[in-house]
Amino acid sequence: MPILVMKFGGTSVATLDRIRRAAKRVGREVAAGYDVIVIVSAMSGKTNELVGWVNETSPFYDAREYDAVVSSGEQVTAGLMALTLQEMEIPARSWQGWQVPLKTSSAHGAARIEEIPTDNVMGRFEAGMRVAVVAGFQGISPEGRITTLGRGGSDTTAVAFAAAFGAERCDIYTDVDGVYTTDPRISPKARKLDRISFEEMLELASLGAKVLQTRSVELAMRYNVRLRVLSSFEDNNAEAGTLVCAEEDIVESKVVAGVAYSRDEAKMTLISVADRPGIAAAIFGPLSEAGVNVDMIVQNISEEGRTDLTFSCPVDQVARAQKALQQAKETGDVNFHDLVADTEVAKVSVVGIGMRSHAGVAAKMFKSLKDENVNIKVITTSEIKISVLIDRKYMELAVQALHDAFELEKAA
């Protein structure tokens, strides 16, 4: 029988009633002739509670025991979902990550999936099981310990299973009914997209859109797994939600697909840095070792032999970045006059595969921001993206202005 992967997020399984509702959706797919692999998250709020317990018990915790604790939320949901399906007389069994086994690296708390052997689960399908309910977010290390994949890891689990089992499709059920041109809470004109390319979704996810985890989209693009994002709170038909697929599966698309934003950004500037070979490595090496996630980078020539270097990072990593750079200065690896941090900025981006073949996107973007008196602090571009750093107080105004400028409320 063909295989379908269905993933239910925390809000979709937050209560027993919602688990029953999700189970009915699974039952319909079984009745349609699919063997189904269901990936479940922990019930809404449970993972945060478990993380809080770990921190309260041991502020400098052992990462292996952290994984043992926080992975338990998904195990509870998997068991409850399997029991609910059994009550519906659907042959179902719950699976923890180690039982599959989903093999990962040893990086506890942020493990990478290395292999998913299919023999165990396929053997049970052949023996009459119709639904395998798998605890998302978790696997097993080479040392035989439970690992977790990082927050949002259940999306990655679902895509990895779809790739390993050659699933016809991977349906991601969440609390929104698809991918929108921007956040509907900011722009009431935001429109749900019927289809979006892997590349566009990857950019939107990395730029702040919360619908899908970035790693899951990367995995789907690599293995050409067709993803469908849809609501678990609405009755869905075959055309519901948003299909994330290859670019060639989209007949026609607008130049810009969406506007994304990230509110919690910071801009950091090293003033008067020695302009010499290797200076960038000397700066960004310590930042990487300190776990600072650097995004936008701009270098300007100032006085002779000196340069100013600006980069952005999450606002909660500013102190870590300042400490790493100060230590590098004290050891003589980096010499700079001053380090200035601006923690009141936001990143706003326009994304679209149509930008590859259409000129004028940057000009229209910058003009629309100028018309609203929004000053641009930093600009970066890629083949299908333009991002700017602006004052955070103008973020919502900028998102609305760009959405209107590119007429994203209209279909292609």
The answer to whether 241 is annotated as binding is no
Asked if 102 contacts 112 with a C-beta cutoff of 8 angstroms, the reply is no
The answer to whether 228 is annotated as binding is no
Pick from 405, 326, 341: nearest CA to 368? 405
The answer to whether 185 is annotated as binding is yes
Asked if 294 contacts 312 with a C-beta cutoff of 8 angstroms, the reply is yes
The answer to whether 249 is annotated as binding is no
Tell me the two tokens of residue 341.
Answer: 């941090």
> Crossing angle, helix 46-57 and helix 63-70, to 10 degrees?
150
Is omega for the bond preceding 184 within 30 degrees of 0, making it cis?
no
Residue 323: how many other CB atoms lie within 10 Å: 13
Tell me the two tokens of residue 401.
Answer: 């202005």
171 CB contacts (<8 Å, ≥6 apart)? 4, 5, 6, 7, 227, 228, 230, 241
CA distance between the termini of the chain: 37
The DSSP annotation for 81-149 comes to HHHHHHHTT--EEEE-GGGTT-EE-S-TTS--EEE---HHHHHHHHTT--EEEEETTEEE-TTS-EEE-
CA contacts within 13 A on the Cβ side of 301? 3
The answer to whether 393 is annotated as binding is no
Q: How many helices (H) and strands (E) does the chain have?
A: 12, 18
Classify residue 144 as left (phi > 0), alpha (psi -120 to 50) or beta.
Answer: left
The answer to whether 10 is annotated as binding is yes
Range 219-253 burial, b when 16+ CB lie within 10 A, else e: bbbeeebbbbbbbbeeebeeebbbbbbeeeebeeb
The answer to whether 406 is annotated as binding is no
The answer to whether 174 is annotated as binding is yes
Pick from 324, 312, 322, 296: nearest CA to 386? 296
CA contacts within 13 A on the Cβ side of 78? 25
The answer to whether 175 is annotated as binding is yes
Helix (H, G, I), strand (E, B) or coil at 39: strand
Annotated binding site for ATP: 7-10, 174-175, 180, 185, 210-211
Annotated binding site: 7-10, 47, 74, 174-175, 180, 185, 210-211
Annotated binding site for substrate: 47, 74
